[in-house]
Amino acid sequence: MKQTNKIINQAKEEGRKTLLETEAKTICKEYDIPVTRFNLSKTEKEAATYAEQIGYPIVLKIVSQDIIHKSDVGGVIVNLKNASDVASGYKKIIENVKKYKADAKIAGVLVQEMAPQATEVIVGSIKDPQFGQTVMVGLGGIFVELLKDVNFRVAPLTAEDAKEMITELKAYPLLKGYRNTPPADIDALVAILCSVSRLVMDNPEIKELDLNPIMAYPKGAKTVDARIILE
Ligand code: ADP
Ligand code: MG
């Protein structure tokens, strides 16, 4: 895959191990993993133009090799509803980041489509020293953090493997729809797991991948944040 190779090689050349969100999401797109629409702005004016093209509401995020957990430093602002929100949000993000690290290397501010809230799913991968590339799935929030309700499987995955990883989650009934929670599109999640499996098998230099969160809709799913770490 052309773009994926290019991005990974460039990071290597620059001695970077963590890919930027823009890079991780470009790779996801190349592997047919659905992501929120995005465009990297370098100025407030550019941000406003991109926001107009993508459509409101908008999310702004810092893109910097020095910042891995963006929201921890005030580097994510959601639900911006118009051009003046975007202008002030842009300034605020830069200000927050500078406060955190005065000399942070800033690639720009990512303007992206705001994904409507839904059941949050996490898909990841780790390169196990013994088993190699291993894919993970779980539900977001307390399910992963508190209940450790996640399933792992060694890649490559077949569609059946991926489906089992999902149906064997303790929280699976929630994905099927429960009370106020509408059912999630299981096939869309299976497809994402299979794509992640292909991606990490094709690129053995990927040490960790983290799609967190993915919004799981009754029809389709959308990756809101993507992180890729190289060896
Ligand atoms: P980080 O994990 O680096 O702090 P995220 O990109 O995950 O940053 O953003 C933090 C949170 O903001 C996400 O978990 C999600 O709840 C929300 N968020 C981020 N981007 C979007 C988006 N495009 N649409 C909707 N919500 C978003
Ligand atoms: Mg995140």
Collapsing DSSP to helix, strand or coil, 220 comes out as: coil
pLDDT interval class at 56 (50, 70, 90)? very high
Residue found under tokens 């299976």: 190
Measured distance CA(191)–CA(165) in Å, rounded: 12
pLDDT at 161 over 90: yes
Reduce the DSSP state of residue 31 to 3 states and report it: coil
Ligand 1, pocket-test mutation among 224, 227, 228, 229, most atoms within 8 A of CB = 224
- Distance of CA 45 to CAs 63, 86, 92, Å? 17, 9, 15
137 burial type by CB count under 10 A (0-12 exposed, 13-18 middle, 19+ buried): buried
Q: What angle do CA 167, 169, 173 make, to 5 degrees?
A: 70
Report whether residue 227 contacts ligand 1, using a CB cutoff of 6 Å: no
Share of the chain above pLDDT 70, in %: 100
- The pTM score is 0.96
CB 224 within 8 A of CB 214: yes
Residue 208 pLDDT exceeds 90 = yes
CA distance 157 to 50: 37
Q: Is the CB of 78 under 6 A from ligand 1?
A: yes
Please tell me the number of the ligand nearest to residue 210's CA: 2
Please say if the pLDDT value at position 198 is more than 90.
Answer: yes
Pocket flag, ligand 1, residue 80 (CB < 6 Å): no
| Radius of gyration, CA atoms only, the chain | 18
How large is the average pLDDT for residues 39-67?
97
Task: List C-alpha distances in Å: 44 to 73, 84, 104, 215.
Answer: 20, 10, 18, 28
User: How many C-alpha atoms does 74 have within 13 Å on its Cβ side?
Assistant: 13
Ligand 1 atom 16 nearest Cα? 213
Instruction: Tell me the CA distances in angstroms from 140 to 35, 56, 103, 119, 156, one per residue in order.
Output: 17, 25, 33, 8, 23
> Ligand 1, closest atom to CA 71?
4
User: With bands split at pLDDT 50, 70 and 90, how would you rate the model's confidence at 144?
Assistant: confident
Ligand 1 in contact with 114 (CB < 6 A)? yes
Identify any residues that bridge with 224 across adjacent strands, giving them in sequence order: none
What's the pLDDT band for 166 if we cut at 50, 70, 90?
A: very high
